[in-house]
Amino acid sequence: MEFPDRARKERYFHSDFYQMEVEQLWPRVWQMACRLEEIPQPGDFAEYEIIDQSIVVVRTDDGSVTAFQNACRHRGVKVVEGRGTCENGFICPFHGWCYGPDGRNTFVTQSRAFSEHNLQPADLNLTPVRCEVWGGCAWINLDDDAPALRQCIEPFATILDAWKMESLRAEWWYACRLPVNWKLAQEAFMEQYHVIEAHPQLVIPERYSPRAGGEIDPRSLIDAEIHYLRTMSEGMAGMVHANDVEVAESLRDMELPADPSQAMSTWHRALNDAVVQWHRAEGSDIPDLNDLEARGLNEPMGYCFPHFFVLPMYSSASSYRFRPLGPEETMMEIWSLTRFPEGQERPKPTPPELWESDDPRWPPIPAQDFSNLPRQQKGLHAKGFEYMRLSERNEGGISNFERTIDGFLAGLPYEKLLPALEAINVNPLERPIVDLGF
């Protein structure tokens, strides 16, 4: 970008720009392909589609996870659609070629009718795709030369490991069709600058802020805090889990010091401890939240380039994934994640229907975010509009993200891209524009 604080509008709709992403970005990046609770048992599989590529992620007999390209080696038919469980492998519906759960070809119908050079065994297996497991998810990468997953998703991985992300489970899973570019959709969640205007119900009145000075009535501080937690919880149908709101309610009568900032920190420490205690008593695996706080790891948002977010709050989290369906169409998925007693059998999460962005079933907070996006995508096309002007202080995360994309589109080698990924795989909220080294 010519100026790091300006994003030209063509990035968000031009077919040439989109095509560059199709060729230079998506085939080179690690992508969260499915949550592991979608494929708990051997033989369970889930299809992951990105643009025109379909990848099958499978739980194999030894409990590990593997992936391959979803195209029969005979005449290219997709071997599976969606998700399910295979008994002993996959049978292509066209001519009946068979593959094991690991993608190995096990049968060619009337094989004698083929010439020998078309029946080379290694060449008949479904084409493997790199697949790694981290954080309760399976990740794929179509680039055989990319560094290992962990290297590409730091420091996101270390921070979310501290949150024990691997023991979060899906409570629900929704999907939205947004008539906007995938980057535009994602950027609505990369800054907090919009909260005052778009989510006025989330603005905590200034009188309860420690900055307001003077003494405050601890009762009204607790009222305001619980009100905020409840508004978040109901607004997201999760993130702040209803269980945690109830835990906060149980602390309503606690004593607090009169000094506002001491009152605030006493409240937060007590709530953290009470949430941890409640979940440990249930038998759930939860980190010590005050310890996370002390280590500076209590960020409200973890971002993992290019398209995955986790927003941890107390015991639980929301998680987002954005996938382009075209230059001006995006599928955004939202998972509500929480902790369940260890060892408890959970049903597989129900795969989402694709709801429109104005569907009345959306919880209030995403509904507010979605309402602006189609208007923004339309506005970008205005003849007189050339570029977005980004606030260096409030919207740096957007600039950092867009310039990392430029690094991929320029075909930079991984040794140049890794430091940029490390700089942006962090909480993008209130993040300044950073030097990416290119």
Residues that bind ligand FES (CB under 6 A): 72, 74-75, 77, 92, 94-97
Number of neighbouring beta carbons within 10 Å of residue 107: 14
Contact (CB, 8 A) for 299 and 158: no
Separation in Å, CA 176 to CA 179, 185, 322, 429? 10, 11, 10, 23
Give the CA count within 13 Å in the CB-facing half-sphere of 336.
Answer: 19
- 214-220: long-range contacts at Cβ-Cβ below 8 A with a sequence spacing of 24 or more? 214/260, 215/258, 215/259, 215/260, 216/258, 216/260, 216/263, 218/255, 218/256, 218/257, 218/258, 218/263
Of 72 and 232, the one with the shorter C-beta distance to ligand FES is 72
Q: Which does 416 bind (CB under 5 to 8 A by kind): ligand FES, Fe ion, none?
A: none
Kindly state whether residue 369 participates in binding Fe ion, applying the rule CB under 5 A. Answer: yes
Kindly state whether residue 191 participates in binding Fe ion, applying the rule CB under 5 A. Answer: no
Q: Which does 72 bind (CB under 5 to 8 A by kind): ligand FES, Fe ion, none?
A: ligand FES
Kindly state whether residue 333 participates in binding Fe ion, applying the rule CB under 5 A. Answer: no
Q: Which does 17 bind (CB under 5 to 8 A by kind): ligand FES, Fe ion, none?
A: none
Residue 25 amino acid letter: L
Of 84 and 364, the one with the shorter C-beta distance to ligand FES is 84
Helix (H, G, I), strand (E, B) or coil at 366: helix
Residue 373, H or E segment: helix 364-380
Kindly state whether residue 21 participates in binding Fe ion, applying the rule CB under 5 A. Answer: no
CA 241 to chain centre: 18
Of 108 and 229, the one with the shorter C-beta distance to Fe ion is 229
Give the CA count within 13 Å in the CB-facing half-sphere of 403.
Answer: 24
Q: Which does 77 bind (CB under 5 to 8 A by kind): Fe ion, ligand FES, none?
A: ligand FES
Sign of CA dihedral 175, 180, 182, 183: negative
Q: Which does 414 bind (CB under 5 to 8 A by kind): ligand FES, Fe ion, none?
A: none
The closest residue (CB) to Fe ion is: 369
CB of 39: closest distance to ligand FES in angstroms?
A: 23
Of 105 and 141, the one with the shorter C-beta distance to ligand FES is 105
CB of 62: closest distance to ligand FES in angstroms?
A: 27
Give the whole-angstrom CA distance, residue 333 versus residue 319. 8
Kindly state whether residue 132 participates in binding Fe ion, applying the rule CB under 5 A. Answer: no
Q: Which does 207 bind (CB under 5 to 8 A by kind): Fe ion, ligand FES, none?
A: none
Q: Which does 92 bind (CB under 5 to 8 A by kind): Fe ion, ligand FES, none?
A: ligand FES
Kindly state whether residue 47 participates in binding Fe ion, applying the rule CB under 5 A. Answer: no
Of 328 and 369, the one with the shorter C-beta distance to Fe ion is 369
Of 95 and 378, the one with the shorter C-beta distance to ligand FES is 95
Q: Which does 369 bind (CB under 5 to 8 A by kind): Fe ion, ligand FES, none?
A: Fe ion
Of 96 and 283, the one with the shorter C-beta distance to ligand FES is 96
CB of 93: closest distance to ligand FES in angstroms?
A: 8
Q: Which does 95 bind (CB under 5 to 8 A by kind): Fe ion, ligand FES, none?
A: ligand FES
Of 369 and 402, the one with the shorter C-beta distance to Fe ion is 369
Taking the alpha carbons at both ends of the chain, their separation in whole angstroms is 11
34: nearest Cα among 151, 163, 170:
170
CB of 31: closest distance to Fe ion in angstroms?
A: 24
- 367-376: long-range contacts at Cβ-Cβ below 8 A with a sequence spacing of 24 or more? 368/198, 368/199, 369/188, 369/189, 369/194, 369/198, 370/176, 370/178, 372/188, 372/194, 372/198, 373/178, 373/179, 373/180, 373/184, 373/185, 373/188, 374/178, 374/179, 374/180, 376/180, 376/184
Helix axis angle for 260-282 and 242-250, nearest 10°, is 120
CB of 280: closest distance to Fe ion in angstroms?
A: 32
Peptide bond between residue 324 and the one before it cis (omega within 30 degrees of 0): no
Of 41 and 110, the one with the shorter C-beta distance to ligand FES is 110
CB of 112: closest distance to ligand FES in angstroms?
A: 15
CB of 81: closest distance to ligand FES in angstroms?
A: 13
Strand partners, 239: none
Of 126 and 138, the one with the shorter C-beta distance to ligand FES is 126
Name the site residues for Fe ion (rule: CB under 5 A): 369
